[in-house]
Amino acid sequence: MDQNSTYVLKINFLGNPKKARKDIKCFCFDKVIDSDLTNYKDLVESIVEQYSPRYLEVAHVQYYDDVLKIYPEVTSDQELVSMFEKHSKTKVVHMFVAYCDPSEPYEPIMEWHSDAHSQPNNIEQDDDDDYLRNLVPENEHVGVDEENIYLEDEPVPLIMVPCSNKEKDKDYVPDNESEAESEVESEDESEDESMSEVEVQEDEEYHEADHAPHLEYNKLDPPMNEGRKYPNMAEFKLALSQHAIKHEFEFDIEKSAPHRFRAYCSRRDEDKCPWRIYASTMEDECTVMVRKNPCGHDCSSTKRKKKLKNANKWWICEHVKDWLIEDATLGPKALRKKLKEHHGIDINSKRVYMGKLLALKELYGDWDTSFDNLYSFKSQIESCCPGSIVIIDHHIIKDKIRFKRIFVALKPCIDGFLNGCRPYLAVDSTFLTGRFKGQLASATAVDGHSWMYPVCMGVFDSETNENWTWFMQMVRQAIGSPRGLTICTDAGQPVMTGVKEVFPEAEHRECMFHLVSNFKKFHGKVFDDHLWAAAYSWNPYIFEKNWAAMDIAKPAATAYLRRWHTRLWSRSQFSTIPKVDYVTNNLAECFNNWIKHHKSLNLDDFFDKVRQMIMIMWNRRRKVARKLVGLILPHIIKKLNAKTRELNLEVVESSEEVAEVTALGGSGFRFVVNLLDRTCSCRQWQVSSLPCKHGLAFITSLINAHIQNYVDLYYSIDKFRAAYDQLIPAMVDKNQWPKSDHGFFMFPPLLKSTAGRHKTERYKGCSEKKRKSGQHLCPICKDYGHHWHKCKKGNPDDIAAILAVRGPPKKRAKTTKASIVPCEDDAPAASMCFPPSQSLEPTTTKKRKHDNSITGASKSQMLEKTKKEKGKGSKSGSRVAKRSRTQPICVANKKASVALKLHAKRKGKEVADKLPHLPMVPHDSPAMGTRSKKMNPASPAMSTRSKRRLSL
């Protein structure tokens, strides 16, 4: 390109704002063009081809004029040339492209505030859901592996250490087997019948003595010359299979025994290939030596065959074992791809799956005996870490003792929580992804650094009231009930029941993220602006202000929150004892994410793995504690010092300990800070135990004041050391655990088979990032964005034809009423305190006025009338509708008439004599023209506009 004619177009791309276009949100990208070779049509077409519009939409192009400060629109080549001439010096043009329907008037851009995304990969990128978005998100920091802020020179410890094949650390876990089974079923399930008999023999030979001599050879291309030795018969067979795959041929087995092996080329009859081999054991009856291999191969290649005889499950097991140790989430599809990349052969998924199962069994042991091995794990934990709690529960099903649930709490974790952590527990559960699809429940705390602190965990089959109550009882047995204990959970009914029954005295918080996820039927700007703001409000005044805005805009939404979300979810009502200000349950989610790669392990391996991870974490944090000097953690002081800069606050002292702090800049909010009590009227200092910005402004205005003297001791170095003071003991591998004499064998739990493919990841919530689905296509006009019964462009005859076939569209019934308010007697002790609802008072006033307007005479007449009608209805058996005291009588008579006519139509009877005789209202009566229904029922004005009968 010519530098004089080259321009950079910084294009800000917009969707159609009137159609709420979400597949193209506001973003920007750069485009380099040559002005001498570009016209208006080519420029627009290049943009449309890259980001296609909707049906019938056209593109509108504007640019920013730096001189006139306006946004002219470009519609022709002349205007495009004029745009380039105005930017000939800078060579940079800020352009705006928007799609709009031609039937609607285009509203040009008058001003622009850039909040666009930069350089999208494609138009289908993941988007933030606009539903109930958090406009001012706060980072509720939870640290997991942040010890390097103090241990800069020390490398991060690796949990997996490469060793010999049988001593490799079990770092990762097997993938969900249901995933593999679904992949396997799509492949050819038929295996070579000639391999089955051989593999039965190989299964026995692969468990020979481990004292075989070590003989080195190239395992990628093992030699098969005469006199070559191999440690045992099993390894010789693996080497022969690898030799055949490497040299692209297949062999058939003529004789396979524990001490001798004889095979020949599988194309001996077709290609007259003379290759054959014979091997047998030596004098030690273990080492195998190739006795005869006289000829080479003359046959064609078998590399491209879909079924290879020699790539059996034992060969696959040996070659995928290393990959499964590094990443056991690999399924048969991924392993199949890796085998093809490394060895150039394509194996069907079923055989790869069988080889994977065999490798996992060699790495992690047998699944059936893993549950009974939990008693050995219990014995090992209790012997090397006295005071730890391991409780295993079982039950009898069909005369078999089967596993039910387990609870594990290490003694150092319990003591560290009670001595060095804040009294706060995040309780949650996550699904296991192994063969046993149980639930892993956990209780996680937080230390002075706001780092994740695992306390205890348990496994049970499903989330029920019984299981969660049992788990919470075990938690109480482990930690007791510390002063100010606060428990945060989601809105699940079983876990909330367990907390309520076992810890009735504890403060029970509800995760705000789960509350918003359940808040599906109510949405709009008022909730975007005020729902999260109400949760983040430190002060009750700010909370009530946001609550009132939602209550006025949508009374049904606030009534829903009053009834179903009574646990604490706003900071304005949090207790000041636990010193934790989290409004979400991210702490528990961090633990679930921390152990997610190990959830498919057998339970004995899983708990041993998590114990090892905790041991590594404790060791690193203990090293951090040794390096710290002073009163408060340096990271906390550093963060508070950063907050003291650029505070736009005015401090007016009342005394040495009390002052008024006013926010400058027009807000006018004023807060009272008391240094002696460590309080501020904004309540942030009391809830988080860290000085708020008002307190920091007052502290830094004093001469001899230090911030560390006003920070709670939960953030002290001594508390941090106490949390990690005890050692997590090291343990031997599970083969050396003591054999438990519990008197029975505990069988695995009965597995529940469910339809469909099991998920290995949780479903994303409504406010999380997820890919947009396709839009609805109208079958009449073939346009997107509306249903057939709302089509305005289609032929009415086509709509009528579809209506006759499908019927009218169904309408959703409303299930929430605005007048529902929970009874205060049923509310828990630690429930939310909501401001009085403003939407309920007018309804009450109307009812009272209406009731007072009814005189005593009219009431008695109505009661007598009702009794007579009930008596007639019971004798005749008619379906006359019941009338309420405040219901207009004409409406009741109308319902009764309709019901009787329908009944008569079915039975073929006349019911005219059953209708009550009602006097007619004169046509000139004022009742015929009024709409009011608030007057006396005895008045003619009580009648409707229609000429109906009126009961006097």
* Segment 209-232, tens digit of pLDDT: 344 455 677 777 788 888 888 888
Which segment, 151-155, 182-186, 905-909, 928-932, is predicted with the most confidence on average?
Answer: 151-155
Q: Based on the structure, what is the number of domains in the chain?
A: 4
Rounded to whole angstroms, the Cα distance separating 750 from 461 reads 10
**Separation CA 324–CA 283 (nearest Å):** 37
What dihedral angle (degrees, nearest 10) is formed by the CA atoms of 238, 241, 245, 251?
180
Question: What is residue 758's predicted lDDT score, i.e. its pLDDT?
Answer: 60
Question: Both 683 and 786 in a single domain?
Answer: no
What is the rounded CA–CA span in Å between residue 692 and residue 950?
Answer: 69
Of 883, 175, 3, which Cα lies nearest the Cα of 599? 175
Closest CA to 681 of 473, 539, 581, 543: 539
Residue 110 forms part of a structural domain: yes
Q: What is the pLDDT of residue 879?
A: 41
Residues 702 and 780 in one domain: no
Mean predicted confidence (pLDDT) in 400-410: 95
- Kindly tell me the burial class for residue 134, based on how many C-beta atoms sit within 10 Å of its own C-beta (0-12, 13-18, 19 or more): middle
DSSP-assigned beta bridge partners for residue 784: 777
Q: What is the mean pLDDT of residues 138-159?
A: 62
- Based on the domain organization, do 790 and 868 belong to the same domain? no
pLDDT at 192: 43
364-386 pLDDT, tens digit per residue, is: 778 888 999 999 999 999 999 99
| Chain centroid offset of residue 179 CA | 20
Q: What's the gap between Cα 541 and its chain centre?
A: 33
State residue 755's pLDDT score.
58
Task: State residue 952's pLDDT score.
Answer: 39
Give the containing element (helix H, strand E) for 203: helix 193-205
Which of 695, 715, 735 finishes a domain? 715
Note the pLDDT of residue 117.
41
pLDDT, position 21: 42
* Digit-coded pLDDT (tens) for 660-669: 999 887 667 8
Indicate whether 550 pLDDT > 60. Answer: yes
For 239-256, the pLDDT digits (tens) are: 888 888 888 788 888 888
pLDDT at site 405: 96
Are 103 and 11 contained in the same domain? yes
Residue 381 and residue 387: Cα distance in Å, rounded? 9
Q: Which of 138, 134, 130, 26 is nearest to 766 (CA)?
A: 130
My answer on whether 782 and 876 are in the same domain is no
Residue 145 resides in a domain: no
Instruction: Give the DSSP letter of residue 548.
Output: H
Round the average pLDDT of the chain to a whole number and report it: 76
Q: Write down which residue in 96, 118, 140 finishes a domain.
A: 118
Indicate whether 507 belongs to any domain: no
Assess whether 780 and 708 both reside in one domain. Answer: no
Q: What is the pLDDT of residue 222?
A: 83
pLDDT in tens, 511-530: 998 888 888 778 888 888 88
- The pLDDT of residue 760: 61
Q: Determine the structural domain holding residue 53 and report its residue range.
A: 6-118
Stretch 741-753: mean pLDDT: 87
Instruction: Read off the pLDDT of residues 672-696 as tens digits, 9 standing for 90 and up.
Output: 999 999 999 999 999 999 999 999 9
Please report whether residue 933 resides in a domain: yes
Residue 877 has pLDDT above 60, yes or no: no
Nearest CA-CA partner of 778 in 767, 757, 794: 794
How many helices (H) and strands (E) in the chain?
28, 22
pLDDT value for 941: 53
- The DSSP element (H or E) to which 508 belongs, if any, is strand 507-510
- Flag whether 157 is in a domain: no
Give the pLDDT mean for 164-192: 40
* Joined tokens for residue 62: 């504007």
> In this structure, are 104 and 26 located in the same domain?
yes
Mean pLDDT confidence for 292-307: 75
Residue 266, pLDDT score: 81
- Going by pLDDT thresholds of 50, 70 and 90, the confidence category of residue 30 is confident
DSSP helix/strand/coil, 854: coil
Residue 456 has what pLDDT? 96
Please check whether residue 191 lies inside any domain of the structure.
no
Q: What is the pTM of this model?
A: 0.60
Residue 565 placed within a domain: no
* pLDDT for residue 296: 75
Banded pLDDT at 473 (limits 50, 70, 90):
very high
- pLDDT at residue 136, rounded to an integer: 57
Distance of CA 466 to the CA centre of its chain: 25
User: Letter for the amino acid at 862?
Assistant: M
DSSP for 438-504, written as a single string: -EEEEEEEE-TT-BEEEEEEEEESS--HHHHHHHHHHHHHHH---TT-EEEE-S-HHHHHHHHHH-T
Task: Please state the φ and ψ torsions of residue 467, each to the nearest 5 degrees.
Answer: -65, -45
> What digits encode the pLDDT tens for the residues 411-441?
999 999 999 999 999 999 999 988 888 999 9
Q: Is 798 a domain residue?
A: yes
Residue 700 contacts residue 644 (beta carbons within 8 Å): yes
What is the bridge-based pairing of β-strands 439-446 and 452-460?
A: antiparallel
CA angle 794, 799, 802 (to 5 degrees): 135
Position 9 scores a pLDDT of 85
Verify that 785 and 867 share a domain, yes or no.
no
Beta pairing, strands 27-34 & 117-118: parallel
d(CA 830, CA 701): 38
Is residue 55 very low, low, confident or very high in pLDDT (cuts 50, 70, 90)? low
DSSP H/E element including 732: none
- pLDDT digit string (tens) for 791-836? 888 888 888 888 887 788 876 655 444 333 333 333 344 578 777 7
Same domain, 19 and 92: yes
Residue 876 has pLDDT above 50, yes or no: no
Task: Out of 664, 687, 715, pick the residue that ends a domain.
Answer: 715
